[in-house]
Amino acid sequence: MTMNVLLTGGAGYIGSHTAIELLDMGHSVVIVDNFSNSKPEALNRIREITGKNFKFFEADVCDSAAMDKLFSENEIECVIHFAGLKAVGESCAIPVKYYRNNIDSTLTLLETMKKHGVNNFVFSSSATVYGDSDKMPLTEDMPTLTSGSPYGRTKLMIEQILTDACSADPELSVVLLRYFNPIGAHKSGRIGEDPSGIPNNLMPYISQVAVGKLPKLGIFGNDYPTPDGTCVRDYIHVVDLAKGHAKAIDYAASHKGAEAFNLGTGVGYSVLDIVNSFIKVNGIDLKYEFQPRRAGDIPECYSDPSKAERELGWKAERTIEDMCRDSWNWQKNNPNGLN
Ligand code: NAD
Ligand code: UD1
């Protein structure tokens, strides 16, 4: 069944890849973004890759008048809410802005959806809601957040808000997608992650070292209780993640209530695994040095993705080699990102 899907934050990294998958599958897509962390060129690239058109609204999702207008002018059947601020360190420096943006946008959407009789909602949550669990792999029924950042707390609070909204409204359907570590890019090399300033996350940092924009990678800690001493994460190809959203909108349309799903591969790779794989797959050198641990990092974090396979019919298919090759293909073809 094809649907008319609103993607908030659809010009961003995960939203743009999801737009491509949905358009390729024949869904109609409407995108709203305020370009606070993305560029209009992303929309051109989505059109170029898919050969398909979609409606775009430049607006802040917290603006209820703008959202009301958007829902009045379009027959939206499902909302995927990507829009949000996501930098962990920044969220500690400006927490109020993070709470305002991430929580207000969700509340505005819930109110607008209710007014317009739209009942299907998919939310971009994060593995960060599991906090610093020492049991791996992480399953959806494990306790959430004992520590973390304001960013992580917005994700957990939003999960709770959406769950409460479902308890009160038997018509509402919410899918909470807990992403692990998305990396990689569309195979065309025309779209990918385009962080502003110096990247915080591992793969964009590696790519910018490889392309010569940064001198060397600092590996944060080599004395963790892991096989090679560096932190272990569940990296997932952004295209696999995007395909998970296609399954989630089908699930939302055929279920009621709130349900959480891990979107990961279930395999943990260390920082050194990623570095070595990037060097090998792409045949290039990469300078790195070991540095002290980064505050807030946990030694290991990886998913049990079996619930998503069982109930959504989704499984990640792309390998760590695919992720390293596609990240580099994007970066080398777009050394200055989307301009
Ligand atoms: P991104 O910053 O590339 O995309 C988010 C988009 O939302 C941007 O285009 C930004 O301009 C837009 N936006 C932000 N606030 C807005 C607002 N109030 N109104 C309209 N547009 C707004 O981030 P991403 O990596 O694509 O992440 C998408 C979602 O997934 C976010 O909610 C993020 O917290 C979540 N998430 C991301 C990761 C990750 O590693 N990338 C991991 C877990 C969860
Ligand atoms: C981080 C966030 C998490 C968020 C996710 C996606 C923290 C503590 N966690 O996850 O909440 O959901 O991003 O945005 O910030 N590393 C280096 N050198 C670098 C960069 C990273 O060694 O220059 C290491 C880190 O120590 C970590 C791994 O690489 O072990 C992955 O880091 P990163 O990509 O930032 O993701 P997370 O920290 O897992």
Report the mean per-residue pLDDT for the chain: 97
HEC readout, 293-314 = CCCCCCCEECECCHHHHHHHCC
Residues 6+ apart with CB under 8 A from 200: 87, 88, 89
Per-residue pLDDT of 248-277, as tens digits, reads: 999 999 999 999 999 999 999 999 999 999
Cα separation, 129 vs 91, in Å, equals 15
State the residue for tokens 């990918």. 192
Please tell me the predicted confidence (pLDDT) of residue 134: 83
Contact 271, 288 (CB under 8 A): no
Q: What is the mean pLDDT of residues 44-69?
A: 98
pLDDT digits (tens, 9 = 90+) for 1-54: 899 999 999 999 999 999 999 999 999 999 999 999 999 999 999 999 999 999
pLDDT at 119 over 90: yes
**Cβ atoms < 10 Å from Cβ of 169:** 16
CA–CA–CA angle 286, 187, 194 (5° rounding)? 60
Quick one: average pLDDT of 68-75? 98
Residues pairing with 55 in the sheet? 30
How many C-beta atoms lie closer than 10 Å to residue 336's C-beta?
A: 8
How large a percentage of the chain has pLDDT more than 90?
97
Which ligand is located closest to the Cα atom of residue 183?
1
Task: Provide the H-helix boundaries in the chain.
Answer: 13-24, 41-50, 64-73, 88-93, 95-116, 150-168, 202-210, 238-254, 271-282, 306-307, 320-333
Among candidate residues 13, 98, 130, 151, the one labeled active-site is: 151
Alpha helices in 25-63 (DSSP H): 41-50
Question: Does residue 132 have a pLDDT over 90?
Answer: no
Is 250:326 a contact under the CB 8 Å cutoff? no
Report the nearest-CA residue for atom 31 of ligand 2: 202
Instruction: Give the per-residue pLDDT at 1.
Output: 86
Instruction: Give 146's pLDDT tier (boundaries 50, 70, 90).
Output: confident
- Ligand approaching nearest to the C-alpha of 149: 2
The protein residue with its alpha carbon nearest to ligand 2, atom 4, reads 128
**CA–CA gap between residue 15 and residue 217 (Å, rounded):** 27
The per-residue pLDDT for 248 is 98
CA distance 23 to 2: 10
Cα 87 to ligand 2 centroid, rounded to whole Å: 10
33 vs 231: CA distance, rounded Å: 34
